[in-house]
Structure 1
Amino acid sequence: MTMTLYSLCGVDAARPFSPHCWKAVMALHHKGLAFEERPLAFTVIPTVESGASKTVPLLRDGQELISDSFRIALYLEDAYPEAPSLFGGPGGVAAARLVEGYSQHVVHGVITRIALIDIHAMLAPADQAYFRKSREERLGRSFDEMAAGRDAAITALPAALQPLRHMLAFQPFVGGATPLFGDYILFGALQWLRITTGSVHLPPDDPVSRWFDRCLDLYDGVARQVA
């Protein structure tokens, strides 16, 4: 049975943009597993699978229903051990947790300030209202205040990515010679930025830009097909 991955989109279902969902998409391709992606609007998510989750990604694999991108990756690693490993062992799981923390607590904050208005423009009116209210509550600032910081956030992005740039001076991927789930965590963040704003806002010769292009080329360029 083909798996179903519920992900996030705006009005255009052909442009799923959630960073967390892109982690799961890349993990499934890494494992070589067949799946159907079903992008959903923000306000539709709680209506699927009997209200199993208020957020995506949400993966249905037979009788199993798994939410949260990291939990999905751990599930795939355990359920499909014969497929290429997402972590390369327990140490890789621990390292990926560090990458997740860096991505969500440093990189995501900058990208949110860059992409806020663009995301809002991608949504239907009901989802725009939800997005505005939920982000104001989560970040403790008005929508307009956050949007006003866009140019400063673009300027701040290269410095926020310096830890990744440092790593890429020694190896082509976060996972080493080949990508692992740690790559997909940070790739998901920049794919989110690319799809919502049309750019990753970095020079093409930046090591992070070159790494991102390598990730876009993975699995027959499946991620590059969404723009």
Structure 2
Amino acid sequence: MNRVLYSLCGSNPARPFSPHCWKVVMALEHKGLAFEEMPRAFTAIPEIEGGATATVPLLNDNGRLVKDSFDIALYLDETYPDRPTLFGGEGGKAMARFVESYSLTVLHSAITRIAVKNIHDIIDHDDQVYFRKSREARLGMPLEEVAAARDEEISAFPAKLQPLRQMLKVQPFIGGDGPLFADYIVFGALQWLRITSGSTHLEADDPVSLWFERCLDLHQGRGRSVTAA
């Protein structure tokens, strides 16, 4: 059996950093499914599987191609129902949809402003040209102007995690006693921040930090396989 996950990296293929790809890495580990991760640079993505996708993650599961992190998680639960569930039923899917929306609209926007210049600096020249053009169009300003406000973004970041912090007072994971895909969604965001900027920018005794450390330890410490910047 051949199972390949295409993910995203900068100049160093040993340091994949995409939050969406990390969700799928953790989901595959959760399911106990063997796979090979094949990180690719931004400008190499159109060459994957003969042009099968414009974005990663892309999973090739023995010839079946599945893209989009959430769709991959749904596929894994439907295709391998005898292995640990990623959602725990329809309610868990609905919860994960909410967590995904929260992560994309609140966390990702903040992390982009904190780490965008870091990301630019760890990718190759051709990728830098693409990245600068696309991100400056999205952000409406030069990367250097975004980076100039980085300290303010870092100071404001912990408050954006207050919903998770409040919930962790009564349970160790978003999924309850153990992790579900909803945990991997937020983990992916903070892992992206950790790998590209060197820190989650949270106090060590913050309940979210403690939860993140638990997630890093999951699946034989897969999350620790890539160190902080």
Question: TM-score if structure 2 supplies the norm length?
Answer: 0.97
- Secondary structure at the aligned position of 1:217 is classed as helix
CA–CA separation in structure 2 for the residues paired with 1:33 and 1:2: 11
Name the amino acid aligned to 2:68.
D
Q: Quick one: distance in 2 between partners of 1:124 and 1:142?
A: 19
Verify the 8 A CA contact 2:117 2:144 in the aligned structure 1.
Answer: no
Which deviations, in whole Å up to 9, do the C-alpha atoms of 1:50-70 show, x marking residues without a partner?
111111000001121011100
Aligned to 2:163: 163
Equivalent residue letter for 2:77: E
Q: Report the Cα distance in structure 2 between the residues aligned to 1:199 and 1:115, rounded to whole angstroms.
A: 10
**Matched AA of 2:92:** G
Q: Where has structure 1 moved over 3 Å in runs of 4 or more?
A: none
Q: Report which stretch shifted further, 133-142 or 157-166.
A: 133-142
* C-alpha deviation, 1:144, in angstroms: 2.1
**For the Cα contact (< 8 Å) 2:24–2:73, is it kept in 1?**
yes
SS of structure 1 residue aligned to 2:157: helix
Q: Find the residue that maps to 2:121 and give its secondary structure.
A: helix
Measure the CA separation in 2 of the matches of 1:177 and 1:114: 32
Q: Output the CA distance in 1 between the equivalents of 2:159 and 2:195.
A: 21
Partner SS state of residue 7, structure 2: strand
Residue type at the aligned position of 1:25: V
Separation of aligned partners in 2, 1:27 and 1:122: 26
CA deviations over 1:157-191 (Å, ceiling 9, x no partner): 10111111111111000000000000000000000
Counterpart of 1:103 in structure 2 is 103
Show CA shifts across 1:52-111 (max 9, x none).
Answer: 111100000112101110000000000000000000000000000000000000001111
Partner Cα separation in structure 1 for residue 177 and residue 114 of structure 2: 31
CA distance in 1, matches of 2:102, 2:112: 15
For residues 174-218 of structure 1, the C-alpha deviation after alignment (integer angstroms, 9 at most, x for no partner) is 000000000000000000011011111111000000000000000
Structure 1: stretches of 5+ with no match in the other structure = none
Q: Deviations over 1:26-70 (max 9, x none)?
A: 000000000000000000001111111111000001121011100
Q: Counterpart in 1 of 2:30?
A: 30
